[in-house]
A and B are shown apart, each in its own frame.
Chain A
């Protein structure tokens, strides 16, 4: 009985944990997207930072580039993004 209670309690805690980081994750996602966009300014038509710098960082930014492409992909569907944000 008591074990059962503890088990249920742990699910509760897990659920809270899950929720508590979701906003942070969203923020992180945006930051990673911005970092990739900043590093490869030429993609946006801004030849800055110097192209050599983007080239030197390129091998280490696989994850950020993935995030950037995913984000850019969904740019024309902001409504879906909004629903996702507000958990609807």
Chain B
């Protein structure tokens, strides 16, 4: 079964680096790995010191990397909706619908939505791999992405119940007097396009919520540094994960030894396994070499 590992944390703590270390470690062990970044500000190519690339790229042994094009997912969604709108509302042709919807791209929640769909899409495409490693955007956005399927599910359930009531009512009226219901309106649940759309969305969000909460296959790792700020943000992540019932498996204190500051990582994350990764004082950080010396990778693999 494919294991899915999320790397979470404050911006700049070393999420991408840690995920790179783990990805190379697994590839060296002969596992097939799909390593993706859903952060709109990608930096996989910086970490592996490569030119920016599009789509999936085989970067090392059986390690495949991809920086998800979130914008593309958004564009596709908007294109699909615009097309549907034009088909249904013929008179809208005169208005410049494309421009109107183009602006929707910047509406609150749209980016999270696109990332949510990208996640589902990419995970489904890569179920043949042993591991899927996900490098995430910083805390604020990632917690919203985690929460979106849960809130959506709530709404989809309620809207579906309402919609079914409407369809039942229509069919009841049509049974007595067929002329009373417009011929174009659906009177059977299976003919209703709204229910169909809700069903499709429901299958996506259920897939994601189940995946997030699956303790066997999904692992989450928080990366933090030896400072109060990243610790405080990590606490927020932990609270968010607890609220959504998503398990937390590992906390990595990255850049250990960079400062002398003492933090209370151990006292806050009592029930979670904590590991350290030392600060590389000189020279370039090479995830491929680092993966051979770091110890937490083995722990995470066996978890």
Q: Measuring CB to CB, which residues of chain A are less than 8 angstroms from any residue of chain B?
A: 17-18, 20-21, 24-25, 27-28, 31-32, 34-35, 38-39, 47-53, 55-63
Contacts and interface: CB of A to CB of B under 8 A. Distances in A.
A25 B176 CA distance: 11
A17 B177 contact: yes
B81 interface: yes
B159 A49 contact: yes
Contact of A35 (B88, B163, B193): B163
Given A20-B176, A24-B169, A52-B77, A58 B85 contact: yes
Chain A contact surface mostly: helix
Contacts of B47: none
Contacts, number: 90
B152 to A, nearest CB: 6
Interface string B121-163: 0000000000000000000000000001001100110110011
Contacts of B176: 17, 20-21, 24
Interface in B145-195: 148, 151-152, 155-156, 158-159, 162-163, 165-166, 169-170, 172-173, 176-177, 180, 182, 184-185, 193-194
B81 A55 contact: yes
A25 B180 contact: yes
Contacts of A60: 84, 88, 193-194, 197
A57 B185 CA distance: 15
Contacts of B173: 21, 24-25, 28
| The 4 nearest A-B residue pairs measured at CB | A59-B84, A49-B155, A52-B113, A60-B193
Given A31-B169, A62-B88, 20 more contacts: A17-B177, A24-B172, A25-B180, A28-B166, A28-B169, A28-B173, A31-B162, A35-B162, A39-B159, A49-B155, A50-B148, A50-B155, A51-B109, A53-B152, A58-B85, A59-B85, A59-B88, A60-B197, A62-B89, A63-B185
20 contacts: A20-B177, A21-B173, A21-B176, A24-B173, A28-B169, A34-B162, A47-B109, A49-B155, A51-B108, A52-B77, A56-B77, A56-B81, A57-B198, A58-B81, A58-B85, A59-B85, A59-B89, A60-B194, A62-B88, A63-B182
B156 A53 contact: yes
B166 A32 contact: yes
B272 interface: no
B166 A31 contact: yes
A18 B108 CA distance: 47
